[in-house]
Amino acid sequence: MATTQVTPNTAAASTTGDSATGDSATGDSATGDNATEGKVDSTTSDSTTSDSTTSDSTGDSSGDATTGECPNDCDDGIGCTDDDCIDGVCINAPVDSLCDDRLDCTTDTCDATADCQHEPVDRLCDDGIPCTVDTCDAVAGCGSAPDHTVCDDGVACTANACDLKTGCQYMPDDAMCDDGVMCTTNTCDAVADCQYVPSNALCDDGNACTDDVCDAALDCGNTAAVLVYNGSGGASTALEDAVTGLGYTPIITTDEASFDAVYDMGDFTAVVIDNPSTFTTVPVGMRTRLQDWVNGGGYLVFGFWNLDADPAMQTVLEVSVSVSVDAPLPIHPDPASPIDLFNSVETFPAPLIYADVWNDNGDQLSPAGGGFIAARFTDALAGPGAIVVSRGDRVLTNGFMITEVGEVGGTDADADMVLDGEELLRNELAYLCTGP
């Protein structure tokens, strides 16, 4: 509060006392000098009672306009008012500047009755960050709280958050893009939302003969198409039955022209040739394609009744022929072989025995450039080679006809309703495609 007293000049007191009582300046000698320094009553009275009525009697709290005086220095007890006494009247004027609380977000005013008032104004706390809720506290000042809901970008795979300094943040989260398809690579794009990219590599089933394809909607598809040459003239379906039994799809050809045409179209993963009768040497066009196939890393199961008369084909297969077989010989797994073709996806007892159907039943074989004997004729330990694996475990040559041991003259020694020769071909294909 501020106090200022203003006192105007006052007129001299009247001195019109009775002349009979003596000098007005000195008073009656009987009464003494009772009016020497006091204010002289302006009314007519006896000199002995001249101070009974005076002009400085106490008035009300608003002051005495006659004297220009204000009681108590006009202090109203309100800290923010400017307290003045003007012409005997107290003036208590509110002064807003006396209420500064040093908070930028309050409106500071002086109330002449309630003292300083500090009104919080939230808009004065705007921090320029759209996603914050800015408020003013009358004690602590400005405060900002994040409102994460303001940061919705409409992208399902982003984690949206409000940062008090940088505003909305949109963080891609790949885990939010799981489509339930095992073969897709799922990523979150902060603009384009979830992206599902098919990856055939994620469909690898470990089978070299299957075509592994990822469908973004259907998941993995593992299919195998096997190009089959059946030279039995319709006498056997052992080849296609064996391929189908593995879950593969056989593409059947029965002559050179159809084989060449299907080969040139592609879209197969393995080749099976079994020819007990249709040609005496492998036609040049077919042999050239088979050579390209194995040189390119393709898988081949091969059986030809007259291989001993076809040295060019022997070179392609990397086998040599010692003796032609003109009568069925029992076939035994070689115990020294790294694979057992009698006990794999299919199991059947040894030896494998079959009836004599063709005049020429095959050839005795040996590796000619690497490889090993997997099965032998007559004797498991010392007999001539019946099955040779060559070309880096990608080519398997039979010294007999699957169409003979697997159907026309075949047996079912394990009584499982599948001829043992057909089971042998399944094991041979399974070995080439998936390993031992």
Cβ atoms 357, 421 nearer than 8 A: no
40 is written with which tokens? 């002289």
Write down the mean pLDDT value for the chain: 85
Q: How confident is the model at residue 70 (pLDDT cuts 50, 70, 90)?
A: confident
Domains of the chain: 1-94 (no CATH), 224-434 (3.40.50.880)
- Each residue of 235-291: pLDDT tens digit? 889 999 999 999 999 999 999 999 999 999 999 999 999 999 889 999 999 999 999
Side-chain half-sphere exposure of 340, counting CA atoms within 13 A = 11
* Side chain identity at residue 392, one-letter code: G
What pLDDT is attached to residue 3? 45
Report the C-alpha gap between 269 and 139 in whole angstroms. 80
What pLDDT is attached to residue 326? 92
* Nearest Cα residue to 275 out of 397, 103, 431: 397
Produce one character per residue of 340-351: b if its CB has 16 or more CB atoms within 10 Å, e if not.
bbbebebebebb
Report the C-alpha gap between 150 and 161 in whole angstroms. 9
What pLDDT is attached to residue 62? 53
- Each residue of 180-217: pLDDT tens digit? 999 999 999 999 999 999 999 999 998 989 889 999 99
Residues 6+ apart with CB under 8 A from 192: none
Q: Between 303 and 1, where is the model more confident?
A: 303
Report the C-alpha gap between 375 and 253 in whole angstroms. 28
Residue 30: phi, psi to the nearest 5? Answer: -80, -30
Average pLDDT over residues 361-377: 96
Report the C-alpha gap between 23 and 31 in whole angstroms. 12
Q: Between 72 and 112, where is the model more confident?
A: 112
- Each residue of 287-328: pLDDT tens digit? 999 999 999 999 999 999 999 999 999 999 999 999 999 999
Q: DSSP letter at 97?
A: G
With pLDDT > 70 as the criterion, what percentage of the chain qualifies? 85
Q: Please state which of the ranges 28-42, 71-85, 155-169, 387-401 shows the lowest mean pLDDT.
A: 28-42
Q: How confident is the model at residue 65 (pLDDT cuts 50, 70, 90)?
A: low
The per-type count for the chain, helices as H runs and strands as E runs, is 6, 23
* Nearest Cα residue to 38 out of 6, 14, 60: 14
In 184-308, where does DSSP find H-type helix? 238-245, 256-265, 284-295
Q: DSSP letter at 14?
A: P
DSSP string covering 395-434: EEEESS-HHIIIIIS---TT-SSS-HHHHHHHHHHHHHHH
Q: Between 23 and 250, where is the model more confident?
A: 250
What pLDDT is attached to residue 358? 85
Q: What is the pTM of this model?
A: 0.63
Average pLDDT over residues 341-360: 93
What pLDDT is attached to residue 436? 74
Top mean-pLDDT range of 44-48, 68-72, 211-215: 211-215
Q: Where are the beta strands (DSSP E) in 254-405?
A: 270-275, 299-304, 319-325, 331-333, 362-367, 372-377, 385-390, 395-398
* Nearest Cα residue to 262 out of 304, 230, 296: 230
Note the maximum CA span of the chain: 188
* Nearest Cα residue to 112 out of 61, 76, 69, 159: 76
